[in-house]
Structure 1
């Protein structure tokens, strides 16, 4: 996962939130807080901020926020849940956000709608203070800033990598090959039309890519999900190719049905392994090398692609987006992929 730094309120309180294009709401842990890390100095106390204000329940924000309803004193309350992450319950409010700019300055954005979470699920990393939803609904930060955003992701497993970058608003780096995006419930749906393994285009019936009887928008691009989830027909074709190539070469480890794990080291044992490429309409591509296709867990490595549990819908996770600058042109309804070393974006 990628964490985003910014400060909230006045005086500013530093935050460290998960970057998530698969949801819309920004929420942070707030005082009083149930299930928060009691050792964290970053828990936001709205009483201490001069720029904090409540969002009434008779607003359009309360109509679109997950679980929005009237709480006490006519304030909107929310209940944000995720398929595989921590939930958050609290009050909807407005606050000032302070972001760092590329030239080491800061910029303040006022009246940003966010969730002040008083009852939150626990996350695996105690440094985490919330989730930055980057969907396009009215309650999201991108909708407040307009135009779009971009991010560049390097090696997710290198904790010393210093060049991951998120750019919100007009400074977004919108370059590379693009594909149309269909926005549904604020989330970014793109259209996967084929998968290749090395030079071989896999034999996949296009019908497996249909979602709700339509092929357009059959995949969600989601930075809050680590692995990629492919519709079963497409996954099975890829599974068979990978398994067949490694048959008799590496020892397979039984973990879960239809999941591929092997004894050994991916970086050592998969030198020269073919790239897997996702092909989207209008020619945009995501190419996954070994570091994007497999993750290491001790002396075992597993394929970072799994069969989707959603009929006709694939989810393109963050590992598949490594070594790319991904740009979201919301106004132009396009998503851009540019394979690049993120350090070069500072030149």
Structure 2
């Protein structure tokens, strides 16, 4: 007959010691602090949540804006990559017709004031428009007034962060000044300060971050807002990305879906660092990658890899960028890829010419219907990392029943290759600035919400 009550378990001395060790390990693991991460939703310019949203805009309207802002951004990247350009000047990211691609929502000060900031991997300083402003631009969120915040402090000139305006960096009160002159003529200027920023975190809900260095812009000439300013994600010590750690990541889903809610930015050493990695090189505060080749139909195309390399004078090379929608290839690479795509299209779709973009490869048809089964184009990077471009990343609608290849030819005089946002769709892109690596993980961004 089975016993009604089990006999007590008797531990040997050896088992008892092992049991105690396991208890200690469990307690230690529970007290280890995980790396902090700060997550915020990214709002695409054409999203229904964006202040730029125009529900009546046509496909052609969107395409022309994308072309215009991408070309302006390419001009900026080309100028900034030049070895003689050492400051943070940029080419009209949000100046003319508002070239913002993604906007992040933060709150600043105490009490918190909500702000919308354009994210930019091509610049460093986080700055917002502040009261009083000599020249103010229109913005969707309230203008921040530092005099009404209990946590605002101006930055003194002896601070290691006071490096933005080295020629004229101090006001009469020894406060640190900053100024940016953009390549399109836009000027923003003001004082550097520290302030509390409130961000949503992936693990704690809402979290304040104290003493963030930022620019309070009081004199803004030519800046045509909606966002309150710029959130720079560059590599310098003034960047928010480096102030919160050495890592950040962003996940981009479908940018043509105005209701897609899962684009996100994660800052801090708890950022999502997964997938295959490739070396990252910083030059003139831009992020360069080693692009080794391009594949189509699982075949590496015959492109001279020197086309993708930066020259000793600083021209050329391959930049990954958050502010460019389209991607660009130097002529030698673009010609080869374009020829291969035309071979696959031959006899299937009618080729059309677009006077606005004479070098573009365009066809009549619908991407979702006429390109079913079209092979991915793969960007092959050093150490085996890859970006796969499906039809939504490789082609862009250009009008009713018309589309063009979204990898365009860099114009004459600019040999830069640029990996733009369309090529980064459906990936989590992670930057480890301490290890000098970028990681590519193909993923549904919704899976990162947890």
TM-score between the two structures when normalised by the length of structure 1 = 0.89
Counterpart contact for 2:141–2:226, Cα < 8 Å = no
Distance verdict in 2 for CA 1:140–1:74, change over 3 Å: same
Q: Find the aligned partners of 1:237 and 1:305 in 2 and give their Cα distance.
A: 12
Q: Find the aligned partners of 1:78 and 1:240 in 2 and give their Cα distance.
A: 48
Partner of 2:190: 90
Which of residues 387, 403, 418 in structure 2 aligns to 1:301? 403
Q: Find the aligned partners of 2:394 and 2:105 in 1 and give their Cα distance.
A: 28
1:1-347 map, 5 Å: 1-33=101-133, 34-37=135-138, 40-64=140-164, 69-71=169-171, 73-80=173-180, 88-103=188-203, 105-118=205-218, 119=220, 121-123=222-224, 127-213=226-312, 218-247=317-346, 249-254=349-354, 255-299=356-400, 300-309=402-411, 311-347=414-450
**Which region of structure 1 is more displaced relative to structure 2, 136-145 or 198-207?**
198-207
Q: Find the aligned partners of 1:303 and 1:72 in 2 and give their Cα distance.
A: 54
1:201-230 deviation per Cα after TM superposition (whole angstroms, max 9, x unaligned): 111112212212499x93221112211122
Q: Find the aligned partners of 2:163 and 2:328 in 1 and give their Cα distance.
A: 30
Structure number with larger C-alpha Rg: 2
Counterpart contact for 2:276–2:439, Cα < 8 Å = yes
- TM superposition shift of 1:247: 4.3
- TM superposition shift of 1:152: 1.0
Q: Which structure: greater strand fraction?
A: 1
Q: Find the aligned partners of 2:120 and 2:107 in 1 and give their Cα distance.
A: 18
Distance verdict in 2 for CA 1:2–1:69, change over 3 Å: same
Counterpart contact for 1:208–1:234, Cα < 8 Å = yes
Distance verdict in 2 for CA 1:253–1:66, change over 3 Å: farther
1:223-255 deviation per Cα after TM superposition (whole angstroms, max 9, x unaligned): 122111222221222222223433451241323
Q: Find the aligned partners of 2:202 and 2:306 in 1 and give their Cα distance.
A: 44
Q: Find the aligned partners of 2:337 and 2:383 in 1 and give their Cα distance.
A: 22
| Helix, strand or coil at the partner of 2:241 | helix
Question: Which 5+ residue runs of structure 2 have no aligned equivalent?
Answer: 1-100
RMSD: 2.7
Distance verdict in 2 for CA 1:267–1:91, change over 3 Å: farther
Question: Which 5+ residue runs of structure 1 have no aligned equivalent?
Answer: none
- TM superposition shift of 1:117: 2.4
Q: Find the aligned partners of 1:266 and 1:144 in 2 and give their Cα distance.
A: 42
1:108-128 deviation per Cα after TM superposition (whole angstroms, max 9, x unaligned): 1111111222305445xx642
TM-score between the two structures when normalised by the length of structure 2 = 0.70
Q: Find the aligned partners of 1:82 and 1:341 in 2 and give their Cα distance.
A: 36
| Helix, strand or coil at the partner of 1:236 | helix
| Helix, strand or coil at the partner of 1:63 | coil
1:245-282 deviation per Cα after TM superposition (whole angstroms, max 9, x unaligned): 33451241323231223333322222222211111000
1:272-316 deviation per Cα after TM superposition (whole angstroms, max 9, x unaligned): 222111110000000111111122243232222222357553221
- TM superposition shift of 1:180: 1.0
Aligned residues: 344
